[in-house]
């Protein structure tokens, strides 16, 4: 694992203390795809190498109705799990107590044979009985050579968060996996591509924002689809010029510009979309993202309801960040009606809160969602967004039209925004200078595109 030296050291410290008395608990949390599962797998491998027993399990969203499923799976209590599935409700409370005691007894028996690591993943989906058991078992079995490694997504204030908080108060070590820094991203990219990436691929990798799962899906997908070649120890786009200035043979890799040019990027203020020159990047790797990355993002989207997926697809046309009130106008609904879907997207780690707006957590995530919207639907949504711009962002429609190549319409809208009717104040009681700056930038750009020769 690149860039996880501190976390690896915490795991080794946990394993080293397992044979001694006391509760040894390491809590790991982080956003989806940040590397929690890989860290647990490496911990299990390290424990096995040390001669420590390993019991690994994970919570599953579809098994929330089965009490203690992660622990029973880790302890390989398959017959007990089948009995649970067949149990009727009247025996429920007594059955739960019996199951909890069965888990405790099995742990004691396994630990009596030697140190044991219990590693449980995806506890954001754990059932209440599992969370209750994990609240008491570490302290109850503190006299046994047991180590606990528990991982969950950081999804905010929920039962898993409360469990981690209580265990931390009792002495557990808690670590949050952060995005990889630039040096670690460069090393991961070199590993995935088999060579040091050039500046263009490095810039593309930066769009993963240090998320290892997205980064590997992107780079592995590019390599699988023949978009990357290696020259003199440097990985570069297959249709980019080589070190001697020679381009790759015609047809190598994908055709640049396969994506639709003219999508909006970051939003500048609530509802003010700043246009970028094509949503899919620039240079030789511009175009659609690799299929492997789309598959990874699709798996993330399948974790939320269809309504939330549809909302994300619609607001993606507004840019990576967007104003909720603008999204509500676009969808023809009151803002309050969007709250359940927005809350679900935030809890799933698909969106994050910025000071003024909501935003897709990663640029690659946003781009992938946007590319899954069929081009005709995307264009229809863009036209609709132009017709219903938010009151505080009159230049948004002008920027969209300009970025799509409709220069005359863009200039017309920018002039209307820059020259409102006499007596119309801006948001602060005076005329807003931003539309005039945008209009000036458009005129300068127009002059560079179509230079007029000076008379001789």
Each residue's pLDDT tens digit, 204-227: 999 999 999 999 999 999 999 988
pLDDT at 426 over 60: no
The residue among 56 and 335 whose pLDDT is bigger is 56
pLDDT score recorded for residue 242: 54
pLDDT score recorded for residue 453: 60
The residue among 426 and 83 whose pLDDT is bigger is 83
The residue among 337 and 395 whose pLDDT is bigger is 337
Confidence of residue 266 (pLDDT cuts 50, 70, 90): very low
Decide if 103 contacts 40 (C-beta within 8 A). no
Q: How far is CA 265 from the centre of its chain?
A: 17
Q: Out of 19-23, 129-133, 229-233, which region has the weakest mean confidence (pLDDT)?
A: 19-23
Section 286-308 average pLDDT: 90
Give, in order, the Cα–Cα distances in Å from 140 to each of 114, 144, 148: 18, 9, 13
Q: How far is CA 115 from the centre of its chain?
A: 36
pLDDT score recorded for residue 421: 56
Section 316-323 average pLDDT: 88
CA dihedral 202, 358, 394, 418 (to 10 degrees): -50
pLDDT score recorded for residue 379: 87
Percent of the chain with pLDDT over 90: 46
pTM beyond 0.85: the answer is: no
- Distance between CA atoms of residues 350 and 341, nearest Å: 11
Helix 407-418 / helix 396-403 crossing angle, nearest 10 deg: 160
Average pLDDT of the chain is 79
**DSSP designation for 270:** T
Positive/negative CA dihedral, 261, 262, 266, 271: negative
* pLDDT tens-place string over residues 372-417: 889 898 888 888 877 765 544 556 667 767 766 777 877 887 777 7
Residue among 240, 243, 263 nearest 252 (CA): 240
pLDDT at 280 over 50: no
Confidence of residue 423 (pLDDT cuts 50, 70, 90): low
The residue among 415 and 341 whose pLDDT is bigger is 341
pLDDT score recorded for residue 276: 36
Q: Which of left, alpha, beta for 240 (phi over 0: left; psi -120 to 50: alpha)?
A: beta
Residue among 444, 451, 384, 448 nearest 411 (CA): 444
In a 3-state reduction of DSSP, which class is residue 265?
strand
pLDDT at 292 over 90: yes
pLDDT score recorded for residue 96: 78
* pLDDT tens-place string over residues 122-165: 999 999 999 999 999 999 998 899 999 999 998 766 788 999 99
Percent of the chain with pLDDT over 70: 74
pLDDT score recorded for residue 313: 93
């Amino acid at each position: 694992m690149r860039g996880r030296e501190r976390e690896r050291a915490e795991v080794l410290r946990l394993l080293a203390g397992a044979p001694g008395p006391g509760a040894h608990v390491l809590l790991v949390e982080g956003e989806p795809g940040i590397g929690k599962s890989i860290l647990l797998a490496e911990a299990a491998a390290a424990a096995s190498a040390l001669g420590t027993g390993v019991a690994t399990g994970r919570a599953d969203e579809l098994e929330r109705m089965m009490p203690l499923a992660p622990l029973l799976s880790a302890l390989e209590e398959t017959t007990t799990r089948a009995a649970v599935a067949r149990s009727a409700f009247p025996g429920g409370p007594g059955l739960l107590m019996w199951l909890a005691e069965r888990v405790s007894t099995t742990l004691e028996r396994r630990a009596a044979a030697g140190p044991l690591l219990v590693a449980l993943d995806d506890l954001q989906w754990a059932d209440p009985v599992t969370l209750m058991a994990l609240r008491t078992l570490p302290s109850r079995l503190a006299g046994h050579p047991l180590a606990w490694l528990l991982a969950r997504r950081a999804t905010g204030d929920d039962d898993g968060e409360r469990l981690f908080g209580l265990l931390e108060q009792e002495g557990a070590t808690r670590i949050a996996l952060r995005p990889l820094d630039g040096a670690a991203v460069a090393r991961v990219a070199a590993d995935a591509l088999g060579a040091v990436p050039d500046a263009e691929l490095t810039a593309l990798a930066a769009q993963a924002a240090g998320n290892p799962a997205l980064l590997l899906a992107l780079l592995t997908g590019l390599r699988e689809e023949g978009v990357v070649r290696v020259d003199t120890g440097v990985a570069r786009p297959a249709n980019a010029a080589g070190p001697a200035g020679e381009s790759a043979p015609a047809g190598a890799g994908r055709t640049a510009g396969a994506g639709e040019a003219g999508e909006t990027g970051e939003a500048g203020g609530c509802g003010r979309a700043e246009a970028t020159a094509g949503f899919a990047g620039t240079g030789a790797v511009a175009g659609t993202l690799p299929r492997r990355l789309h598959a990874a993002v699709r798996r993330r989207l399948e974790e939320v309801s269809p309504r939330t997926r549809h909302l994300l697809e619609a607001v993606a046309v507004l840019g990576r960040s967007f104003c909720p009130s603008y999204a509500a106008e676009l969808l023809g609904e009151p803002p309050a009606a969007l709250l359940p879907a927005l809350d679900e997207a935030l809890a799933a780690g698909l969106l994050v809160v910025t000071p003024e707006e909501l935003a897709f957590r990663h640029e690659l995530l946003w781009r992938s969602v946007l590319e899954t919207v069929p081009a005709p639907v995307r264009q229809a949504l863009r036209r609709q967004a132009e017709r219903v711009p938010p009151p505080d962002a009159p230049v948004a429609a002008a920027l969209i039209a300009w970025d799509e190549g409709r220069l005359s319409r863009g200039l017309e809208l920018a002039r209307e925004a820059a020259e409102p009717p006499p007596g119309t104040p801006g948001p602060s009681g005076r005329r807003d200078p931003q539309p005039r700056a945008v209009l000036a930038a458009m005129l300068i750009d127009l002059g560079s595109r179509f230079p007029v020769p000076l008379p001789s």
